[in-house]
Structure 1
Amino acid sequence: MAKNSPKQKNKSYSNIGFNTPVPEHPSLNEVYEDTPFSEAFWTYLNYVILNIFGWFRDLLRNARIENRKGSAENNPPGFVPLYQSYESFYTRNVYQRIADCFNRPIGSVPGGTLDLLERVTDDYNWSFNFTGDKVKTINLGSYNYLGFANNSGQIAENVINSIKTGGVSAASAAQECGTLTQHRKLESLLAEFLGTEDAIAFGMGFATNALNIPTLVGKGCLILSDELNHTSLVLGSRLSGAVIKVYKHNDMIHLEKLLRDYIVSGQPRTHRPWRKILIIVEGVYSMEGSLCKLPELIELKKKYKAFLYLDEAHSIGAMGSRGRGVVDYWKCDVNDVDILMGTFTKSFAAAGGYIAGKKELIDHIRITSHAQTYAVSMSPPVVEQVISVLNLLIDENEEHEGRQKINQLAWNTHYFRQRLTKMGFIVYGHPHSPVVPALLYSPSKIAAFNREMLKRGVAVVTVGFPATPLVLGRVRFCLSASHTKEMLDEVLKHAEEVGDLLNMRKSKLNPKRPFHETEL
């Protein structure tokens, strides 16, 4: 999908004040409305029924009365099955029935609109046949926050031209022959954009966390991790060998209590002081849409002489008046965050990740990280994509494309959240977060909402257990600068219709009522 020019965007929003950036209000609190009793009751009942029928069908399968519809391993005699166990109970009996509304192949660029390929299955989603048809939808399911996921325009031309000179792969690890001039340029621009002394880039965002946390902490160290941290952070923490303690999400009182208790008690058995204490948090939590309380975290880490690791995968580019993440949003000093981590897969529409901070930190990572020693460095065209986006974001001219996209995302977020809340949906997250979860609760509603929205030409991501707590299944709208007001209005119209169909508009804090644009 071709990009709108800044001029077209201004024209589109001129009658509703888009040209003026949305003011930030860091003091705004996140509100998490309690689950209505009726929804909790029916959700638990749904899962009880699913379990009863699931166990009954497993019994029939074991007795060979019913054929197994999902994947199964033919184990050699005497071997223990690898995955046909209780852990795959949900996959066998629930997910196989609803997977068709979650996993659909994409036949276009994941921009403001999206082409989904039509397919049919005769064996409970174990295999598919493509019909050859495409469904054009408004895309509310991609992390394309700034709308740079395009296959045309100047950035796309820069990427194509870079292939002619740099090829498609460095074909080597960074510590051997895989560090090119482009990589150094990218890291220099990153440090300039973030305001840090140095930065280092990696080819995979997940590995940036999983392989670099072990280079920072190890045995004799303590990690304090938010309970909703991403799997990559959890894996990296476990690989490090450090002691891990989890605190309640965004609960600074609980975090401080853990800091006090474990500083007093010291290491297990020996009670010696901890070698290091590392607090690990995310900027924007992708399932909740919440923001970390960065000013309070900085205050605590200074008070107790700890280090702070901030994962900005979903906040870099998407938060702050200059797109520099939650550090920018909260107006904090970047030097107060010891380790700044982020990915290029969202706002930059590329691949890979980075770590930024003091030069001594980055030099240490360059030497010790397995991601530098064993993994192929970033592909040159991917590096060029990130460099081209960074050049736009560093430019602070309000009339230029980078700042226009940041402002448009902020406006879209404000508008969509306000409208959805006024409709009576139970909406989670921070008022300025571009990740907008609306609660569905019941597993039957999770699949139904996805399918009903698709029928109306809207692609959304719906999520349930085990990715969320049992009674907090949800639809997760991901907003983008590539969305126009007309697109958002159409999505909201359909959401209201499907919300009534599924009895979703049950907020007691914001009972459904008409919305007027003067409220923005």
Structure 2
Amino acid sequence: MTVAELNPEMENEEGFEVPYHVALTTYFSYAILFIIGSIRDFYRTLRRTGKKGYAPLCKDFEDFYTRRLYHRIQDCFNRPIASAPTNWIDVVERVSYDSNKTLHQTENTVRCLNLGSYNYLGFASHDEYCTPRVVEAMNKYGASACSARIDSGTTVLHNELEVLVAKYVGKPAAMVHGMGYATNSTSLPVLVGKGGLIVSDALNHASIVNGSRGSGAKIKVFQHNTTFLLSVHEMKLEDSRDYLYFLIDASHLEQVLREAISQGQPRTHRPWKKILVVIEGIYSMEGETCRLKEIVTVAKKYKTFIYLDEAHSIGAIGKTGKGICELQGVDTADIDVMMGTFTKSFGSCGGYIAGSEELIKYMKYTNPAHLYATSMSVPAVQQVISALEVILGLDGSNRGAMKLTQVRENSNYVRSELRNRGFEVLGDTDSPVMPVMLYNPGKIPAFSRECLKRNVAVVVVAFPATPLLLARTRVCISASHTREDLDKAVKVISEVGEMCNIKYFPRKLAEDEKFFWYDQKKLE
């Protein structure tokens, strides 16, 4: 039994209650889409032509969603831009003459407010400190090393960045990769193999999912930020007829670990060779942070390793931008493997793995991205070094601290304004990622196109990046956004939200609520 089952009004911790008609109309829309699409596919098979004797290269049903939904609204995705991804961007206009099956670029651009890029600290455009150093590095080293790290792809700047990153995240050593996605997908198979167990958050990124599948380890999934009721304790309040109900709960992660350890490996029931808990700092499609303190407590209890992905949290949250550990007061020594990317807050590309010296030494000997992939380009390396120096104040200014304050204030301002206007906005305080729920498939293109007409560029997200019924638009806030930019964003989103009917008004909880909800930590 869950907390929501005891008190359904508390089901959405953000205070929103999605109307039943929204869910019903969403199901109905997909049902109509599926029925009509299936009928069209039936007639399509009657006149199918292909290579005689060859099997179809793509299966019909696997390609169904792409053909019947995505192609019809693909003008809302993959929009090319003709400028740096700062607070305002130039979006290239596209036209279609065959109902969106193909799109053609024009020579025209539209100046739009950018609410879709991960440029959290504003380093993606020209910077007075970073850009001259990047240009100097490119003139000296060239645009690419044209070699893997283990061959001739390591420069003094790569080594300098690894030392700086390790110091910044609070670990003894670090290694950098040329691609953030590959950092996860190639590191996890090196860390865990057959006979091991990966316990992964249900909302982890695709790079983690693919890396886990490629490891050969057994994979178990625990529900994101979910607790389950263990017992209820009742206490009569002094001089009152009211009662206070305490809920004693335990994390779903602990339940999964307890069962996995007690049962052992499949068939043989031997003990697991290794157990790795994989989580993220900020979840990119929800904007939520993980409950790191509770996860560390459970991991220590069951003697499991922790792999923390800070792609969206490093440089974006925490007093000095050091991520989820700093924000929640967790010692980095309790995290065995710290991963992050340079593609968000640092305005560059690539990723890193940080940990003990022994771990990094082992990874450099075995990780295929280090052994075979082309190393991170030197200008991109210099961009990260320069951005870190600004964040740490090594440039002789306080711009880094101001950027961190600005992105935090901007994020909380927009989140508060959108919620006050009735939108269902996911995400936690201080997170620069804030999804606004759309649900209905028909509202995906409507919202995107109407915002573009008003010179606001937004990112809409649908299946397979999210569950089929949970389509949303994802607003990303940057330190480069001014208050005027944010007011325009809120105004346009509110106006388009009225047109699309996606305002699900928040319901305030009664002040005299007799039930008080505590987590395990508070009760202790």
Aligned pair in 2 of structure 1 residues 32, 227: CA closer, same or farther (>3 Å)?
A: farther
The counterpart of 2:86, out of the listed 111, 121, 133, is 111
Conserved 8 A contact 2:15-2:508? no
Aligned pair in 2 of structure 1 residues 429, 510: CA closer, same or farther (>3 Å)?
A: farther
The one-letter amino acid of 2:102's match is S
Q: Distance in 1 between matches of 2:432 and 2:15?
A: 16
Q: Distance in 2 between matches of 1:137 and 1:307?
A: 45
Deviations 1:179-221 (Å, cap 9, x if unpaired)? 1111000001101111110000000111100111111111111
Partner residue in 2 for 1:143: 118
Partner residue in 2 for 1:234: 209
Q: Secondary structure at the match of 1:211?
A: helix
Q: Distance in 2 between matches of 1:184 and 1:411?
A: 35
Q: Secondary structure at the match of 1:440?
A: strand
Which moved further from structure 2: 372-381 or 388-397?
388-397
Within the alignment, does 1:31 sit opposite 2:14 as a pair? yes
Aligned pair in 2 of structure 1 residues 396, 42: CA closer, same or farther (>3 Å)?
A: farther
Within the alignment, does 1:479 sit opposite 2:477 as a pair? yes
Deviations 1:94-141 (Å, cap 9, x if unpaired)? 111111012211111110001101110112333333331110000000
The one-letter amino acid of 1:51's match is F
Q: Secondary structure at the match of 1:443?
A: coil
RMSD: 1.8
Partner residue in 2 for 1:6: none
Aligned pair in 2 of structure 1 residues 77, 32: CA closer, same or farther (>3 Å)?
A: farther
The counterpart of 2:377, out of the listed 376, 379, 390, is 379
The counterpart of 1:55, out of the listed 38, 43, 55, is 38
The one-letter amino acid of 2:331's match is D
Partner residue in 2 for 1:284: 282
Q: Secondary structure at the match of 1:87?
A: coil
Deviation at residue 412 of structure 1 after TM alignment: 0.2
Residue pairs, 1:182-221, within 5 angstroms: 182-221=157-196
Partner residue in 2 for 1:158: 133
Aligned pair in 2 of structure 1 residues 251, 313: CA closer, same or farther (>3 Å)?
A: same
Deviations 1:145-179 (Å, cap 9, x if unpaired)? 11101145331111111012111111211112211
Q: Distance in 1 between matches of 2:219 and 2:318?
A: 31
Deviations 1:432-468 (Å, cap 9, x if unpaired)? 2111111111111111011111111100011123322
Q: Distance in 2 between matches of 1:280 and 1:75?
A: 44
The counterpart of 1:101, out of the listed 64, 76, 95, is 76
Partner residue in 1 for 2:446: 448
Partner residue in 2 for 1:491: 489
Residue pairs, 1:277-356, within 5 angstroms: 277-356=275-354
Q: Distance in 2 between matches of 1:224 and 1:324?
A: 25
The counterpart of 2:411, out of the listed 384, 408, 413, is 413
The counterpart of 1:46, out of the listed 16, 26, 29, is 29
Deviation at residue 398 of structure 1 after TM alignment: 11
Q: Distance in 2 between matches of 1:77 and 1:337?
A: 56
Q: Distance in 2 between matches of 1:32 and 1:218?
A: 42
Q: Distance in 2 between matches of 1:306 and 1:168?
A: 42
Partner residue in 2 for 1:271: 269
Deviation at residue 399 of structure 1 after TM alignment: 5.8
Which moved further from structure 2: 44-53 or 388-397?
388-397
Residue pairs, 1:492-511, within 5 angstroms: 492-509=490-507
Q: Distance in 2 between matches of 1:367 and 1:480?
A: 38
Conserved 8 A contact 2:436-2:473? yes
Conserved 8 A contact 1:424-1:510? no
Deviation at residue 418 of structure 1 after TM alignment: 0.7
Q: Secondary structure at the match of 1:225?
A: strand
Q: Secondary structure at the match of 2:467?
A: coil
Q: Distance in 2 between matches of 1:110 and 1:399?
A: 24
Deviation at residue 30 of structure 1 after TM alignment: 5.3
Q: Distance in 1 between matches of 2:331 and 2:396?
A: 23
Partner residue in 2 for 1:8: none
Within the alignment, does 1:251 sit opposite 2:226 as a pair? yes
The one-letter amino acid of 2:38's match is W
Deviation at residue 236 of structure 1 after TM alignment: 0.8
Q: Distance in 2 between matches of 1:110 and 1:102?
A: 16
Deviation at residue 250 of structure 1 after TM alignment: 1.9
Q: Secondary structure at the match of 2:340?
A: strand
Extract unaligned runs of 5+ from structure 2: 1-11, 228-250, 510-524
The one-letter amino acid of 1:330's match is Q
Conserved 8 A contact 1:312-1:343? yes
The one-letter amino acid of 1:185's match is E
Deviation at residue 284 of structure 1 after TM alignment: 0.4
Q: Secondary structure at the match of 2:214?
A: helix
The counterpart of 1:430, out of the listed 417, 428, 434, is 428
Deviation at residue 509 of structure 1 after TM alignment: 2.3
Aligned length: 475
The one-letter amino acid of 2:202's match is E
Q: Secondary structure at the match of 2:110?
A: strand
Deviations 1:474-519 (Å, cap 9, x if unpaired)? 11100111101100001111111111111111223269xxxxxxxx
Aligned pair in 2 of structure 1 residues 440, 109: CA closer, same or farther (>3 Å)?
A: same
Among all aligned residue pairs of Structure 1 and Structure 2, give the percentage whose two residues are the same amino acid. 50
Q: Distance in 1 between matches of 2:133 and 2:186?
A: 31
Q: Distance in 2 between matches of 1:188 and 1:114?
A: 34
Partner residue in 1 for 2:520: none
Conserved 8 A contact 2:390-2:397? no
The counterpart of 1:391, out of the listed 389, 392, 406, is 389
Q: What TM-score do the two structures reach when normalised by structure 2?
A: 0.88
Q: Secondary structure at the match of 1:212?
A: helix
The one-letter amino acid of 1:211's match is T
